[in-house]
Structure 1
Amino acid sequence: MKSNWKKLSLTIGLGTALILTGCSSDSSANEDVTLTYSIWDQGQAEGMNAIADAFEEENPTIQVNVEVTPWDQYWTKLESGAQGESLPDLFWMHSNEFANYSEGQILMDVTDLADESETLNMADFPEELVELYTTENDELLGVPKDYGNIGLWYNKTLFDEAGLDYPDEDWTWDDLLENAEILTDVENDVYGVLAPLNREEGYHNFIHQNGGYVISEDKTTSGFREDETVEAVQWYADLSVEHGVSPTVGQFADNSNLSFFQSGRAAMGFFGSWMISQLAENEYTNENVDVAPMPAGTEEAVIYNGLANSISAFTDYPEEARQFLEFLSSEEAMIIQGEYGSAIPALSGTDTSFLEAYPQFNIQAYLDQMEYAVIKPYSKYTARWEDVENQALIPVFEGEATVEEVSETIITGVEEVLESEN
């Protein structure tokens, strides 16, 4: 997270930068323009380039260069660019980082674009995602690009060998544990389910399935005050700690949950829809696995999130950037995104295009789950309180403490962060 002085430094002199930005579009009106569109996922590069190509066909004087920077370097590079007023013209924005860029006039307010456009209608996107990228002052600083939620992936071969029925929409926590116990073969390093210390693809789903919450709707209170939250996280941790049907924290340190699954050493795992391309690219998982809805607790629930496309307030080509943003948000571009298997398009009515990219998997499960999906918990300083939560839960997943024993630490730390936001 950036400190306040960094945010202030981004604001200083911005008036001049915006004046220059406002003047630049006239000078480029009759000239060829090159926009940089920055993303972090190499797996989506082909689809994003296809969108850029389609846009360039309609706008021959505007070229779009898709720039891929891995996640670990992406935000460092973006922060440096923000401080130097040299951001890419357009770039992906994530809910965890939005607060860092929503202040100091770093992102272009595109509210007027959405209001005036003949094709861009924010009512056609998931309401919670639109709210996520809108400030308290009703400034729209990003248009939703996609959505993703979590599915229960399973190894068909291991289920067949054990004579078990595949997971389906009727599964509960009890079904998950019962089948995981049967499928676990520790001697051969095969586990029934993968339950690492992971929030979005892990225990946050179980919290909501048990009637709990992570932070309150008014973003002032930690959900670890609630018995339902504590109970759900303990149940999830016990898959490893008590039941031994999941690898330990130490084992996950040596092998990711993806590597366990792709090597056939796990019968089930929880993976976000953004992981589908990697599962399809791996020869073993492409042939041996499939996906079902998440199992239900006392209720059905699944965490969902989505990225947005944002424009730099410092771009030299504001009008051209707005043109490309409008195209990125169009039905044509969204369908291209889906057909290339980049991500599930956020625009209403286009998400089914994603099904065509992976006919070998039951991708419909992800689309169906949106009926009861819960937006990924977020606030102004999401990453800060997530770190508090994560650090406090490490001894729980190591079997050295219970969730109840560390809950007060989580409550205190999380609520201190939430209070600092106000």
Structure 2
Amino acid sequence: MNLPTFKVLVVDDDKDILFSLSKVLEMEGYIAKTAESGGEAIAKAGKEPFDIFLIDIKLPDMEGTDVLTRIKSINPDAIKIMITGNPSVDNAIKSLNIGASSFFTKPIGLDKLLTNMKDKLLERERQKSFDKRKIQEWVKLRISKIQTNEYSKFAEETADLFVFFGLSKSQAKIYIAVNTLGVATAAEIAALSKIRREEVYRIMPELENRGIIISKLDAPRKFASTEPQTALKILMDTKVESMEKEIRDLNQRKERLIEILQKTSFGIHEEKAVEALSRPENVKLRLKQMLKKASAKIFLVGSVEETQKIINLEDERKANVKTKIILDMSDSEDQEDEDVSGKSTIISYFGDKNFDLRQIKECMFNLVIVDGKEGIWGQAILDKTPRKVFWTNDPVQVKILERAFENLWQESSLIKAQ
């Protein structure tokens, strides 16, 4: 075994132990690094891979067992050896249950420690069907461009992005592993992706059918990935096609529902009523229906902006419909230029026939009355922010609204076309 390729991180708050132990390890051919606290050890473990961690149980900032737990999640394949100056059965059991490979007490028997380290390294290597260390180094080189050297985290985060393109997380992790390795067997892919070999074989045909994995007729069978840009284009095109079909199906169902509901609808104007409309879409639809049915007269009160929005809902200008508009000029000082332009637009829309335009300094509500039969009113009828707007076709209520309009008309002043 070529020991210089193995790296060891010694974690202890005793500087003398750190110095002496690291020197012994270097003499034995290891690459030794040190950390004086749990936080420092975790930070170093996140920045570079270590083969062995020697961790003291008692550290100044946290328990050694907590460091063991964190390092296990960062580097699950590393050998983790716990060391303590206060030996107890509880500490030993807890450490081994969390994932420690061995447990030593101080003063450390160096010969036993070094023998244990070598045995654990040999055991780890024997369990691999291929040189996993070389693969990990290869992975580090491949993913260094995206500034991460911890493959599990990289694969997890990248797989989450692939889900938006229609892949399951397992499918995504297999593609990522193949793309990282270049050309690989199912065993190599399984080891890197942490997905069982049987599952890799099951998913591979699905990815081949999608066009993002290529099967090579070698013995043993090997796989390669389609270049990422091409693979993502294939996945995106498939996703878009699926969404377009879903939209077509949804539109067909919408038309079918409209047809069914219209056949059973009693109509919205059969009963005399007052209704509260809370959604802007419902207000806009009701206004369009009212303006479309207008045959004699329209009374309108609103700001310049609101009035423009309302008249834009008309499908066409009806010359025989008398229109009377009162503009609320309460915001005129803040937007004088817009108001002048808006007035000109309104005047040019109606022309001189069947149209009177007046203005008032301030009005507390907006109002539209059509043919003395329907009325709609509220603070801001077509505001995007949902507010209470009321509609009525009740004759008594409409008469009250008309009386309010006539009072405002008397208080207003005439606007002449420039």
TM-score, normalization by structure 1: 0.21
Structure in which a larger fraction of residues adopt strand: 2
Larger radius of gyration: 2
TM-score, normalization by structure 2: 0.21
